[in-house]
Amino acid sequence: MVDTPLRLSAEEMRRLGYRAVDEVVEHLATLRERPVGSPPVRERIEGLLDVGLPDGPSDPIEVLAEAVGRVREFIVHTDHPRFLAYIPGPSTYVGAVADFIASGLNVFAGQWLVGSGPAIMERIVIDWLRTLCGLPDTGGGLFVSGGTMANLVAVHAARSESADDGGLIYVTSQTHSSIRKGLRFLGFGPDQLRVVGTDESHRMDLVSLKEQIACDRRGGYQPLCVVATAGTTNTGAVDPLDELADLCADHGLWLHVDGAYGAAAVLSDRGGDLLKGLGRADSIALDPHKWWYQPYEVGCVLVRDETTLIDAFSMNAEYLRETRHGSGPLNYYDLGPQLTRGFRALKLWMSLKTFGLDEFRKAVERGMALAEHAQDLLLKGDRWEVVTPAQLAILTFRPRVPDARPEAVDSVTRRIAAGTLEDGFALVLTTEIDERPVLRLCITHPETTVGDIEETIALLERLADEAVATQGLR
């Protein structure tokens, strides 16, 4: 090491960097051959990792080797082609390199004076996403950590546009929990949340919404915002966006669309049909680290009129005076809650430039096609009940157990999910539909194959047989 605090020599930096690249490439090249994950045992993990704070230096290559080994051992690989449990999916190697570059150059992407190039690059990528989603030229947005923060920023912008801090927010039982969390964070009380009904497809029901709005207005309350979902976490359902846009326009309400994963399907013709009306929203949340294959964290909030973000978040401070000078300063601290923020836009910019939009489109369409293939396999025999059909690459189902009570079927369903984690070949977990557990396939990995799906369903059938036998149901 050089005789400077916290600095390696140029040769040591190269050696460490080359080794890090080799480790990542090895991880990606051999990922399919390894288990998706295993059940975590906290005591074992703490025993291996909690060894005290070091006072002196260590060889950086040895530290890297220990870090990679321990991290890889104690994670479930959400970037595995047979990780089918949740929507967050794989990243691209290009995106990972972009993250390294952004960190290595230590880019500050919060204000114009020290990050004008990154600011313009972020604006360009935001414009790409705005155009894809159908928002007008007046629109804008910014990158945030993920869908939770994107939803929070959007709802705060909606409230800032209203003269009434006591406005009501309308959701359904299928709305993502991040909305409720964000509302609490923003100071909305439980009495400001209205949960409206859903139709048989688990979409927001327009009649229920209209009745609730009318009832609230008769009671002297002020409706503020309707939160629609483009691709629910449970079933992939898309609320009727076009009709909701009409209703919100008629009633002067803000329409926010949580499209954290589902908005990515605008790239597909079939997805575009499902998402008709997306471009009429006042705000949209989407997560490129889900179905657009970027490393965590990169969420995005888009708005129909960028001035709504400025009105909600713009700040003036004496130490920021010079950041407002120059030619067309673009300060992202005026558009969101963060002043210090990393350069999240670079990974999506590099990935889109490297692969092109058509490759992303093929990958999204592949996920939807594989979900439909899985549905066909499940419907071929009498072993499975498809609870919600394949939509936006999500499918839910449960085992059929003749003459068994619903509680027994529910127990078998949960046992199957637990068994996949213990087995390690693929990971399939549960969610709940109508207060009963169902297995859910989320097929968003671009490297998942037909063979992966067929072998995973074969695994589920074996685990179902074992669970049924263990419970004495046959």
The predicted-structure confidence for 166-176, as pLDDT tens digits, reads as follows 799 999 999 99
Quote the pLDDT of residue 1. Answer: 60
**Overall number of domains in the chain:** 2
Quote the pLDDT of residue 96. Answer: 95
Neighbours of 310 (CB within 10 A): 16
3-state SS, one letter per residue, for the chain: CCCCCCCCCHHHHHHHHHHHHHHHHHHHHHHHHCCCCCCCCHHHHHHHHCCCCCCCCCCHHHHHHHHHHHHHHCCCCCCCCCECCCCCCCCCHHHHHHHHHHHHCCCCCCCCCCCHHHHHHHHHHHHHHHHHHCCCCCCEEEEECCHHHHHHHHHHHHHHHCCCCCCEEEEECCCCHHHHHHHHHHCCCHHHEEEECECCCCCECHHHHHHHHHHHHHCCCCEEEEEEEECCCCCCCECCHHHHHHHHHHHCCEEEEECCCHHHHHHCHHHHHHCCCHHHCCEEEECHHHHCCCCCCCEEEEECCCHHHHHHHCCCCHHHHHHHCCCCCCCHHHCCCCCCCCCCHHHHHHHHHHHCHHHHHHHHHHHHHHHHHHHHHHHHCCCEEEEEEEECCEEEEEECCCCCCHHHHHHHHHHHHHHHHHHCCCECEEEEECCEEEEEEECCCCCCCHHHHHHHHHHHHHHHHHHHHHCCCC
Whether residue 22 has pLDDT greater than 60: yes
d(CA 143, CA 358): 23
- Buried b or exposed e, range 387-424, using 16+ CB within 10 angstroms: bbbbbbbbbbbbbebeebeeebbbbbbebbbebbbeeb
Complete edge-to-edge strand list for the sheet that includes strand 140-144: 140-144, 299-303, 283-286, 254-258, 223-229, 168-172, 193-196
At 200-220, the pLDDT tens digits run 999 999 999 999 999 999 999
Averaged pLDDT score across all residues of the chain? 92
Complete edge-to-edge strand list for the sheet that includes strand 384-391: 384-391, 394-399, 436-442, 429-433
CATH number, residue 161:
3.40.640.10
The verdict on residue 119 lying in a domain is yes
Q: Are residues 326 and 425 in the same domain?
A: no
At 88-137, the pLDDT tens digits run 778 899 999 999 999 999 999 988 888 889 999 999 999 999 999 999 99
The verdict on residue 101 lying in a domain is no
pLDDT band at 87 (very low <50, low <70, confident <90, very high): confident
Quote the pLDDT of residue 317. Answer: 58
Please give the residue range of the domain that contains residue 148.
Answer: 107-355
- Record the tokens describing residue 247, joined without a space: 């209703």
**Could you give phi then psi for residue 435, rounded to 5 degrees?**
65, 20
Quote the pLDDT of residue 359. Answer: 96
Contacts of 356 (CB under 8 A, 6+ apart): none
Whether residue 325 has pLDDT greater than 80: no
Quote the pLDDT of residue 167. Answer: 93
Q: Are residues 326 and 370 in the same domain?
A: no
Quote the pLDDT of residue 145. Answer: 94
Whether residue 321 has pLDDT greater than 70: no
At 252-263, the pLDDT tens digits run 999 999 999 999
CATH number, residue 397:
3.90.1150.170
Mutual orientation of helices 450-470 and 357-380 as an angle, nearest 10°? 40
Q: Are residues 186 and 149 in the same domain?
A: yes
Least confident residue range of 2-11, 165-174, 242-251, 423-432? 2-11
Q: Are residues 137 and 256 in the same domain?
A: yes
Quote the pLDDT of residue 49. Answer: 84
- In the chain, pLDDT over 90 holds for what percent of residues? 81
Quote the pLDDT of residue 3. Answer: 73
Whether residue 322 has pLDDT greater than 60: no
Last residue of a domain, one of 355, 386, 407: 355
Q: Are residues 245 and 392 in the same domain?
A: no
Whether residue 276 has pLDDT greater than 70: yes
The mean pLDDT of 333-360, rounded to a whole number, is: 95
Least confident residue range of 99-113, 322-336, 387-401, 436-450? 322-336
Q: Are residues 319 and 411 in the same domain?
A: no
- In the chain, pLDDT over 70 holds for what percent of residues? 96
Quote the pLDDT of residue 474. Answer: 65
Q: Are residues 404 and 311 in the same domain?
A: no
Contacts of 6 (CB under 8 A, 6+ apart): none
pLDDT band at 289 (very low <50, low <70, confident <90, very high): very high
Whether residue 319 has pLDDT greater than 60: no
CA 139-143-148 angle, 5° bins: 105
Quote the pLDDT of residue 324. Answer: 60
Q: Are residues 320 and 378 in the same domain?
A: no
Q: Are residues 165 and 238 in the same domain?
A: yes
Whole-number Cα distances in Å, 388 to 174, 352, 431: 13, 33, 12
The verdict on residue 53 lying in a domain is no
The verdict on residue 152 lying in a domain is yes
Quote the pLDDT of residue 281. Answer: 98
The mean pLDDT of 37-59, rounded to a whole number, is: 87
Q: Are residues 202 and 163 in the same domain?
A: yes
Last residue of a domain, one of 355, 385, 400: 355
* Whether the Cβ atoms of residue 415 and residue 462 lie closer than 8 Å to each other: no
At 176-198, the pLDDT tens digits run 999 999 999 999 999 999 999 99
Dihedral sign for Cα atoms in the order 317, 318, 323, 324? positive
Q: Are residues 348 and 396 in the same domain?
A: no
The verdict on residue 416 lying in a domain is yes
Q: Which of 178, 235, 238 lies closest to 204, judged by CA?
A: 238
d(CA 339, CA 270): 39
Quote the pLDDT of residue 470. Answer: 83
Whether residue 328 has pLDDT greater than 70: no
Q: Which of 463, 379, 374 lies closest to 414, judged by CA?
A: 463
Quote the pLDDT of residue 354. Answer: 97
Whole-number Cα distances in Å, 428 to 18, 89, 443: 35, 13, 10
Q: Are residues 429 and 416 in the same domain?
A: yes
Q: Which of 72, 68, 70 lies closest to 48, judged by CA?
A: 70
Q: Which of 354, 345, 364 lies closest to 267, judged by CA?
A: 364
The verdict on residue 332 lying in a domain is yes
Last residue of a domain, one of 294, 329, 355: 355
Quote the pLDDT of residue 315. Answer: 74
The verdict on residue 139 lying in a domain is yes
Q: How many Cα atoms within 13 Å fall on the side-chain side of residue 116?
A: 9
The verdict on residue 99 lying in a domain is no
Tell me the whole-structure pTM to 2 decimals.
Answer: 0.94
Least confident residue range of 144-148, 307-311, 399-403, 468-472? 468-472
Quote the pLDDT of residue 323. Answer: 58
Least confident residue range of 47-51, 54-58, 352-356, 400-404? 47-51
d(CA 431, CA 436): 8
